[in-house]
Amino acid sequence: MDPLIAKGAELIREATNILIFSGAGLSTESGIPDFRSPGGLWEKYDPSEFEFQRFVSDEKAREKYWEMSTDSYGLMRDALPNRAYHAIEILEKVGKLLAIVTQNIDNLHHKAGNSPEKIIEIHGTAFSVSCLSCGKKYDRDVIEGRIQSGVKVPYCDDCSGMLKPETISFGQSMPQDKMAASISFADACDLCIVLGSSLVVYPAASIPARAVEAGAKLMIINRDETALDQHADLVVHDSVGKALGDMVEAI
């Protein structure tokens, strides 16, 4: 067995409360491009156009936002969990999973079968839409139906307020309840496994660092280097699905 896989399997075997921290690199293996990578949305769109303040103040910005969001939603809706997602679900089945903190908005942890109460979508979800005025929630497919019928900017049925997918945009406040829960799990875990995150988007990326500060061991599986590699007990630069899948299979 590859020594890195053997070391990872040992860390997982010894742990009792594992915190998974997942990023875009976990979902690229399910066919969802990283926004920042070649072929990602930021090649087609200028991310500065989608700042939250522009969304709420400019109808044209809202139209552009919905165009961009609809572009990516179809891929997310049809994507299927890869081997790493199924490995995480196994960790829950065997009683080792404390929680999942994910930067992803693609619903794949849910599709893989992890318990909703164990999943913190720290950047929100693309699968739900809400009114910024009254808070009414809509299933994303309902709103996508309106977009496909020719509506460029959907508004709330009840109060005519602005509708927006329940994702966190640039300049939008992070959900304090989710951040607090994530920090609590970071403090309580004995192993934090970072999967497919470059750990550059803050404040979410502070969660694995918090786990290390609280005494947890750290494993990072990511194709590229991260700022926390030097603090990790194990770093694997490889396919996330292959590496984590092999480790969980080994135990």
Distance between CA atoms of residues 99 and 5, nearest Å: 22
Provide the 8-state DSSP code for 130.
E
Cβ(113)–Cβ(85) below 8 Å: no
SS3 label, residue 138? strand
Provide the 8-state DSSP code for 218.
E
Cβ(12)–Cβ(191) below 8 Å: yes
Distance between CA atoms of residues 140 and 127, nearest Å: 5
Known catalytic residue: 123?
yes
Cα 208 to Cα 141, 168, 195, 243, distances in angstroms: 34, 20, 11, 19
Q: Which of 86, 109, 123, 237 is catalytic?
A: 123
Active-site residue numbers? 123
